[in-house]
């Protein structure tokens, strides 16, 4: 069977099964998520065993240790997957919400309500937790899920889908609302991206290269989740004692994720005081540094190895323990740098000046702006949305962390008493 036929068949099966979602109550969908959470916990040892196969293969293939971290499912992370499903189950039902309502002079009653997209395809890399995070958000919002993970996580994804489908067998929701698209050939990605009419929406989650490929090649509508070239700007009015932990958390807390910071920008008036401490702290944390001329001189004065940063460095989403450092002449200079190299994901300013914070916010064309806080807070769970399906940095209806509400569209319901149009 060809890839296109396979994907179309999976989509058709998912769409038929989705009727059990669209006719289910919010309580039914909540029950399905709770059943998934319980099954994940009950089969944690199976999940760990399958994940271990992927990890060993990744090591044999020489995958970077930081990228292996994306793939790894520890016992705590498996517990986190289950807890994430429970958190989503506790959120308000996103379906059949009345967005607006009115009556016309001719007696027609209009109501705009939230409804599912239908069949949603996910294309993602490495992180097997996305398999469950995405599925539970899609199910709770009434959507069927076509999940196409990477071959590096094939065993992990397969067991997680089996776990979820097994859980759904004990509910009123058809297990066929979750479909795993094979990852053994890139042809299945192309088929998913071109299943227009079969798949209603595709969401990519992963590297900048993956996201660009999906956006460029898809004939199915897409929501573009963002590459994260995120910045921490330390202003001339910054509390430098706050700046160090914010910087370290933004870069080192989990460097493989899209909301990790990739560049430190420092106002020139505090550079002499702040850079020695910041560069030393980053170096001690194991961060490889790429510096502009002024910060490079500081690093070398501290006998810390660093390279001269290029435009390519400043435009790179590392996803590992590497970071750029640059000195800017002003807040506007920082914004010029961010405009040139940023990806409209998350930008952070450290400052005690309300005026500086307000200007930074006004000039930032980002999905999220942090004031005196780590970039790591651009996250659905941290913001109270439950597990997220991704972080969008495009400018459509969904921007920033995408939770349940962003996985719905709307329908107009027009109720009359026999009116006809003259």
Residue 422 falls within a domain, yes or no?
A: no
Residues 31 and 58 in one domain: yes
Residues 40 and 125 in one domain: yes
**Mean pLDDT over the full length of the chain:** 94
Residues 221 and 234 in one domain: no
Strands 400-401 and 391-392, sheet pairing: antiparallel
Query: What gap in Å lies between CA 82 and CA 70, rounded to an integer?
Result: 17
**C-alpha dihedral (81, 86, 88, 89), degrees to nearest 10:** 150
Query: What gap in Å lies between CA 286 and CA 281, rounded to an integer?
Result: 9
Query: What gap in Å lies between CA 69 and CA 72, rounded to an integer?
Result: 5
Query: What gap in Å lies between CA 315 and CA 398, rounded to an integer?
Result: 24
Indicate if the pLDDT at residue 305 is higher than 80.
Answer: yes
Q: Look-up: residue for tokens 């294309």? A: 123
Q: What's the whole-model pTM score?
A: 0.85
What pLDDT, in 10s, does the model give residues 49-92?
999 999 999 999 998 887 788 899 999 999 999 999 999 999 99
Residue 271 falls within a domain, yes or no?
A: yes
Residues 241 and 138 in one domain: no
- CATH number, domain of 362, equals 3.40.309.10
| 163 vs 63, more confident | 163
Residues 26 and 175 in one domain: yes
Q: What pLDDT sits at residue 387?
A: 67
Q: What pLDDT sits at residue 148?
A: 97
Q: Which domain holds residue 130?
A: 3-225+402-415
Q: Give the residue among 39, 56, 282, 252 at the shortest CA–CA distance from 155.
A: 56
- CATH number, domain of 185, equals 3.40.605.10
Residue 386 falls within a domain, yes or no?
A: no
Q: What pLDDT sits at residue 69?
A: 86
Residues 246 and 209 in one domain: no
Cβ distance 279 to 298 under 8 Å? yes
Average pLDDT over residues 273-284: 98
Residues 295 and 312 in one domain: yes
Residue 61 falls within a domain, yes or no?
A: yes
Residue 420 falls within a domain, yes or no?
A: no
Residue 171 falls within a domain, yes or no?
A: yes
Indicate if the pLDDT at residue 374 is higher than 90.
Answer: yes
Q: Give the residue among 272, 282, 136, 134 at the shortest CA–CA distance from 205.
A: 134
Residues 366 and 245 in one domain: yes
Query: What gap in Å lies between CA 296 and CA 302, rounded to an integer?
Result: 10
Residue 391 falls within a domain, yes or no?
A: no
User: Residue 342 — very low, low, confident or very high, per pLDDT cuts 50/70/90?
Assistant: very high
Indicate if the pLDDT at residue 414 is higher than 70.
Answer: yes
Residues 63 and 207 in one domain: yes
Q: What pLDDT sits at residue 381?
A: 78
Number of domains in the chain: 2
Residue 389 falls within a domain, yes or no?
A: no
Indicate if the pLDDT at residue 386 is higher than 70.
Answer: no
Q: How far is CA 270 from CA 235, 239, 276, 328, in A?
A: 8, 10, 11, 10
Residues 190 and 42 in one domain: yes
Average pLDDT over residues 265-270: 98
**CB within 8 Å of 106: residues ≥ 6 apart:** 419
Residues 141 and 24 in one domain: yes
Average pLDDT over residues 141-162: 97
For 30-34, 191-195, 386-390, which range has the lowest pLDDT when averaged over its residues?
386-390
Residues 297 and 219 in one domain: no
Average pLDDT over residues 184-196: 95
Task: Calculate what percentage of the chain has a pLDDT beyond 70.
Answer: 99
Neighbour count for residue 49 (Cβ, 10 Å): 13
Q: What pLDDT sits at residue 395?
A: 75
């Amino acid at each position: 069977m060809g890839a296109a036929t396979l994907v179309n068949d999976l989509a058709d099966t998912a769409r038929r099964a989705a009727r059990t979602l669209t006719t289910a109550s919010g309580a039914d969908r909540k029950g399905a998520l709770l059943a998934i959470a319980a099954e994940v916990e009950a089969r944690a040892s199976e999940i760990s065993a399958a994940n271990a196969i992927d990890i060993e293969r990744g090591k044999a293939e020489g995958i970077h240790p930081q990228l292996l971290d994306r793939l790894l499912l520890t016992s705590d992370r498996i517990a986190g997957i289950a807890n994430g499903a429970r958190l989503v189950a506790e959120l308000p039902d996103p379906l059949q919400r009345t967005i607006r309502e009115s009556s016309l002079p001719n007696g027609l009653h209009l109501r705009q309500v939230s409804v599912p997209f239908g069949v949603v395809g996910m294309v993602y890399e490495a992180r097997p937790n996305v398999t469950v995070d995405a599925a539970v958000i899609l199910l709770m919002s009434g959507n069927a899920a076509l999940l196409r993970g990477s071959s590096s996580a094939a065993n992990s994804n397969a067991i997680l889908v089996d776990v979820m489908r097994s859980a759904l067998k004990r509910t009123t929701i058809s297990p066929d609302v979750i479909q795993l698209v094979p990852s053994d050939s890139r042809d299945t990605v192309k088929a998913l991206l071109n299943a227009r009419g079969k798949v209603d929406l595709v969401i990519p989650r992963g590297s900048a290269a993956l996201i660009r490929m999906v956006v460029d090649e898809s004939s199915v509508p897409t929501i573009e989740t963002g590459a994260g070239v995120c910045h921490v700007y330390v202003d001339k009015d910054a509390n430098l004692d706050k700046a160090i932990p914010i910087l370290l958390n933004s870069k080192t807390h989990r460097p493989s994720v899209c909301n990790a910071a990739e560049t430190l920008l420092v106002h020139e008036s505090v550079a002499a005081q702040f850079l020695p401490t910041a560069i030393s702290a980053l170096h001690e944390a194991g961060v490889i540094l790429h510096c502009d001329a002024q910060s490079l001189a500081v690093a070398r004065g501290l006998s810390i190895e660093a390279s001269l940063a290029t435009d390519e460095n400043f435009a790179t989403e590392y996803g590992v323990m590497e970071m750029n450092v640059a000195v800017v002449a002003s807040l506007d200079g920082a914004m010029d740098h961010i405009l040139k190299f940023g990806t409209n994901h998350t930008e952070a300013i450290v400052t005690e000046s309300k005026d500086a914070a307000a200007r930074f916010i006004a000039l930032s064309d980002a999905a999220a702006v942090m004031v005196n806080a780590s970039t790591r807070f651009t996250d659905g769970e941290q913001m109270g949305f439950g597990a997220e399906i991704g972080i969008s940095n495009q400018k459509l209806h969904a921007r920033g962390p995408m939770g349940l509400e962003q996985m719905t569209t709307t329908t107009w319901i027009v109720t009359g008493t026999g009116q006809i149009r003259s």
